[in-house]
Structures are given as structure tokens and as C-alpha cells.
Structure 1
Amino acid sequence: MNRQTLRYHLLGWGLLVAYDFVGIYGQHLSNLRQMLLLQFTFRLSMMSIFYYCFLLLFPRYLRKNRVPHLLLGLVLAPVVFAATRYALEQGLLPLLFGFSNYTGEVNLLHYLRDNVERGLPMMMVAATAWGVQDAFMQERRRETHQLLQEKTQAELAFLKTQINPHFLYNTLNYIYSEAYLVSEPLAEAVLRLSDLMRYMLHDSPDGKVEVRQEVAYLENYLALHRMRFEDKFFVEFTQQGAPQEQRVAALMLVPFVENALKHGIIHQAEKPVEIRLTFPTPQHLLFEVHNHISHHQKDHTTGIGLANLRRRLDLLYPEQYELAIENDGSVHHTRLLLPLDGPRPLPPATPPGRAVLAESAA
């Protein structure tokens, strides 16, 4: 119960007690003090059954549809009311003020028989109050969830704009056609770059792609570097296991490789960059990158960066991934364990008489 709700409860009970006080005080009774105390204990008993239902019974059993437990709790609710009233009127009032509600020897069973129906209205009030509050809370949760989804999509869209240079892709076909007339290796490099850009611009409703597509992107990325450095590029990429159609978030692996190539040693055969992709289970992907750290001046552009990647991991795999980064000043090792999604459902069959236009290849 938050502070605002607590204030509403205090205000409601305060108005009810004030109403009782005004009603009794206006009667000019000789035993006014006793009547006020008895009415106050009655309201305290009402509070006991109200909060028994409001805070304990309905949240625990009604919200979870545990009907047998709910029915048993409702049967016990009059007992709570009668027991509270018995303790106050036959125990506390005689002890503090020398009088009780009932004269003579009265036990708890008598209170229970005499008060069964008195607690029923407050049980209904508690049910109504809890229902209204729960409806507001459900609506607030839905709004919060919707806002969180919109915020997540906005952040992911922002991250994607950092790695989707559309203007380059729009000119690659022209560059390839011109480069092929000059140099086949140059044309091949442009073609691989085109494949990289096509993958980066690929979109899916949930941002997931098949693992084989992510691996193909990584291989193209490394191939471009090999073409650039020729025989001075020592990077070993090994893959164990053959994932079928499991899916993973797009562009999740290459930032680790980009970081290793940017800050690692790539030109020494005895200190190669080691990249390993394994599948410890059919539902998990394990990606490891191991490189020796270069202390020479290097490109300081940030790319999407590991901080950016951590944010994507938190958004797409909250509390589902394991990322360990070890750096002792000479060797850098990254280990990423990701859960895999199942294959994407097949699209519905095309209705007869309708044509499907295939996307033209660039």
C-alpha cells in the first residue's frame, strides 16, 4: 500500500469514526462515554475484517484464482471479526474502563453466533475496494509496460541507426559495376561490403535472424580484413556445431571481433586473434574472442562499442545472457553465452490467384 492509498484509507476511516461520534454525541445519552468506546471498538473490528480481506485474502487467492483457498478464507472472515471484537469488548474494555459490551459470562462462540452477519457488509466493501484498486493497478501496469516497450523500441531503433549507413548501400551497385572493369579483387571487396550492408539493413519484427546469417556476416567481415592486410592478417575463426534455424539478435557477435581487431595484435602469427563459436546446448550459443593487446597507436573511432552492446543485451536478453570480459593488460578475452530462439514460423500459404513479388537483388 503506497502513501497515497494510505491517506485515502485514513481519510475514509476518519470520516466514518467522526460520523459515529456526531451521531452518538447528539443523543445526549447518560452513558455517552461507554457508547462512544463501544462504537469505536466495533469500527476497529470492522477494520480487522476489512484488511483481512483487502490485504491478505483477495490478493493472495482471488488474483491467482485459487478458489478453494478463497472460499475457506471467506468462511473464516467472520471468525476474524468476532474474535477481534471479543478481544476488545470482553478483554480490553473491562481491563481499562471497567465495563464490557455483554453482561455475564460470554465466550467467543457466543460472539461468533451473534456477529456472523455483522461482518458481511464490510467483506463486500473490502471486495469492492480491492477490485477497484486492482483494476487501476492493472491499467497502470499495462500503461507502464506499453511505455517500456515503446522506450525499448526507440532505443533499439537509435542503436540501429548507428550501424545502418543507408547512403553507402544505395551506391554499392554502381561502385561494383565500375570496379569490376578495373580490378576483380576490388569488385569482390565491394560485393562483400554490399553483403554486409544488405545484412545490416535487414529488418525483422523482433530484430532476430538465423544464426547462420549472423555467421555469414562475420565471415564476410573477416574476409574484407584479409583482403586488406593480405598475408599479415592472423585471425582464426572456428565453429563447432551446426545450428539449424535457431535465431539470435542481429549484429550481436561482430562488435567483439571489431574490438579485438581494433585493439589487438593481428599481424603476428604467434599471437593470432582466436574466435570460437560453439553450441553447448541446442538452445544456447557460446561466443569467445581471445586476443593479445596492442599498445601501438590505433584507430580511436568507437563503432557501436561494447557499452552500446551491453545496452542491447540488457534490452533484448534481460537476465538471460552471461558476459565475461577478462583483461590483464596483455591479453583480452571475451566470453558471451546467449539463449537461442527457435526457428521463425513459416509464413501462411499464398492464397490461390495471388502473385508474390520477390525482392530484387541489388
Structure 2
Amino acid sequence: MKILERYQGWLHVVGWAFFAGLPFLTLPSFLWNQQDLLSIGMAQLLTGSVIATCFYYNLRRLTPDFLATQHLNRFVLTLLAMLLVVGLVRIGSFYGFPPGVHYSPRGRRRQFSPWPGALSASLSFGFAMILSSLIALIRHHARLRDQQQQMALGKVSAELAMLKLQVSPHFLFNTLNNIRWLARQKSQKTEDAVVKLSQLLRYMLYQAQRDRVPLTQEIEHLHHYIDLQQMRLNDRQTVDFVVTGPVEALEIEPLLFIPFVENAFKYGLHGQETSHIQIRLVVADNELLFSVQNPDFTTSGASSEDSGIGIANVAQRLTLHYPGRHTLHYGTEAGKFNIALTLALHQEMVNV
């Protein structure tokens, strides 16, 4: 299709040249003289010009309007009117450019009639209209397909925007709770917590709205969040965040990991019991493995209603952004809640 679109101008030129020359290829031998060729050529040029005008009018206006409005009567009446014009032009050209006088082998004078030429022009007109309508129909379906694709892309973009909006307020709500807790304790870490929060909000406002961000920025965002959370931890609550592999050369959809980490801090810490959160991010051969393990201190109600919201949103975003290129497993085993996310990032290399 792209090749045809590229050379469609030449295809039109060749097609009309063949259309104009076809009558001369079918002329009987007794008409091959200068006067007859001139008369037939002028008649063919005039009639062909009218048919070509009808062809492009039908291609660009008549058939597209019919497909848009479905007004069949107007479509048919316009075609009949154009057919009448072609017939009249062909008959008029016969009398305006009369052929020469010819005699049969027996000496009888041949009588020429305009009606065979009119019939031939009508058939040519019908072929031209069918061809132009088919081309218009193909273009119409191509436009509809493009519109449907644009609508689908718009729907996906809207869904992604909605999911990001669902993630961000949830994250902000928990972070403000942490700062409120520090303020109630009159902790000296409150100011540092506000600074960390401003860094997180700056990332969410200016970087997370992009389709892709450098993986290093996403990791830095996780560090800021973990630092903010660690301000309220006691000696029995520890966090281990380890990053390995060539993370500098990759990009990723923003805010994919933060719901998992947020979920670990919200439901994996206990005030009286030892709690340890283990976070791993490993990159090898353009494949990323992100895992989180934490104790499961959730109640059945909280686990089913709250803790799964962020994970469910990330699962939907993964389906939209990494179809067939990710695996996500999570669940509780032996009192530990585990999350394991694998991403194929071969198409997310940073442009340098």
C-alpha cells in the first residue's frame, strides 16, 4: 500500500494514457488515415477529458459524500446526470469532428453513426465510476481504521492517566500521615521529611507525567521515599534496598515500583515485632527483576480492600505498557508477602 501511495501520481498518468490510446489500438484498418485519426483523436480527447473530470469528482466528492450521508437518490441522480453529459459530448464531438468517407470493396458508401461511439463512451464512463468509487471506498475504510486506532490510543492514554492519578493521591496520603506522625513526636526530622516530600512531589509533577523516564531517576525516587519512611522507624524495623546491574542505559514507565514499596511499608511493619523489608532491583541482559519481601501483618479486611489497590493499578498499567513482556507474581508464603516483577526492557534503551 505504501508503494502504491508513493507512485500514485505516475499510476494515474499511465492509466489515463492507456485509456486515451485504447481506441486507436482497436481501430479497423480502413480508418488508418490522417483525417480519421485526427477526428477520432479530437473526439477522444474531448470525451476523455469529461470522463476524467467525472472520475476525480466522484473520487473526491461524490462517493465520499455518499458514504458520509448515505443519500442514495442524490448519488444515483448525479451519476445519471454525468452519464448524460458524457453521452452528449461524445455525440457532439462526432458531428464536430466527422470521420472521412469510406467505401466498401463493392463500392458502397459506408454510413457512420454516432451511437457506437456514445455507447463506448458510456461503458468507459461506467468503468471509470466503478474504479473511482472503489478507490474512494478503500480510502474511506483506511480513514475509519486510522480513526479507530486513534480512538483506541486515546482510550489507553486516558486509562493510563487515570491509573497514575489513582497512584499519586494514595502515595501522597500515606506520606502526609508519616509527616504528621513526626510532627506529633516533635521530631527534628520533620523539616527533613518536608524537604524529601518536596523532592517526591517535584518528581511526580514534572517527571512522572512522561511516558518514559530514566531508570536511574526512578531508583532515586525510591531512595527518597525510603529515606522519608525510615525517619520514623525504630531499631526493630529495618529496610534493605539493593540495586545491581547496568541501570544507566535503560528507561521505564514512571511510578511502577512505588506502590509495591509503599505497600511493604504500610503492611510490613509492626511496632512491637521485628520487621524487615527487603527490596531488590536487578538488571541483567536488558531484563529487570524487581522484588519486595516483607512480613505480612495485614488483617484480612485491610489486605483485601486497601493493600491490593496499588498493586492492581500497577498490574493494569503493566498490561497496557508491557503486553507480553512482563510477569508479576505476588502473595503470602510462610508469613512473608512477596512481590516479583520481571520486565523485558530491550525497547526502552535511553537515546544517547
Tell me the TM-score normalised to structure 1 length.
0.50
Distance change (3 Å), C-alpha of 1:342 and 1:322: same
> Structure 2 residue aligned with 1:287, among 287, 290, 302?
290
> Structure 1 residue aligned with 2:349, among 320, 342, 349?
342
What is the distance in 2 between the residues matched to 1:303 and 1:334? 12
* Post-superposition CA distance 1:218-255 (Å, at most 9, x none): 11111111101232322211111141141101110111
What is the letter of the counterpart of residue 316 of structure 2? R
Kindly state the Cα deviation for residue 334 of structure 1 after the two structures are TM-superposed.
1.3
What is the letter of the counterpart of residue 158 of structure 1? M
How many aligned residue pairs are there? 215
Contact 2:264 2:292 in 1 (8 A): yes
What is the distance in 1 between the residues matched to 2:134 and 2:267? 59
Q: Is structure 2 residue 315 aligned with structure 1 residue 310?
A: yes
Tell me the TM-score normalised to structure 2 length.
0.51
> Structure 2 residue aligned with 1:277, among 270, 277, 281?
281
Aligned counterpart, 1:209: 213
* Post-superposition CA distance 1:270-324 (Å, at most 9, x none): 652211100121x221101122211459697569511111111112222221112
What is the letter of the counterpart of residue 307 of structure 1? A
Distance change (3 Å), C-alpha of 1:125 and 1:329: farther
> Structure 2 residue aligned with 1:319, among 312, 318, 324?
324
Distance change (3 Å), C-alpha of 1:318 and 1:127: farther
Contact 2:214 2:251 in 1 (8 A): yes
Unaligned runs of 5+ in 2: 1-126
What is the distance in 1 between the residues matched to 2:281 and 2:213? 16
Contact 2:237 2:275 in 1 (8 A): no
What is the distance in 1 between the residues matched to 2:291 and 2:265? 14
Secondary structure of 1:201's counterpart equals: helix
* Post-superposition CA distance 1:132-176 (Å, at most 9, x none): 5543432222111100111112122222333445xx8xxx9xx9x
Greater RCO, CA 8 A, separation 6+: 2
What is the 5 A alignment of 1:6-21?
none
Unaligned runs of 5+ in 1: 1-122, 346-362
What is the distance in 2 between the residues matched to 1:218 and 1:268? 26
> Structure 1 residue aligned with 2:151, among 126, 141, 147?
147
What is the distance in 2 between the residues matched to 1:216 and 1:269? 29
What is the letter of the counterpart of residue 343 of structure 1? V
Distance change (3 Å), C-alpha of 1:266 and 1:321: farther
Secondary structure of 1:243's counterpart equals: coil
- State the superposition RMSD in angstroms: 3.8
Kindly state the Cα deviation for residue 190 of structure 1 after the two structures are TM-superposed.
0.9
What is the 5 A alignment of 1:77-226?
134-164=138-168, 184-203=188-207, 206-226=210-230
What is the 5 A alignment of 1:226-237?
226-237=230-241
Q: Is structure 2 residue 246 aligned with structure 1 residue 246?
A: no
What is the distance in 2 between the residues matched to 1:314 and 1:288? 18
What is the letter of the counterpart of residue 256 of structure 2? M
Contact 1:235 1:266 in 2 (8 A): no
Distance change (3 Å), C-alpha of 1:344 and 1:324: same
Q: Is structure 2 residue 309 aligned with structure 1 residue 333?
A: no
Contact 1:289 1:335 in 2 (8 A): yes
What is the distance in 2 between the residues matched to 1:191 and 1:250? 21
Give percent identity, aligned residues only: 33
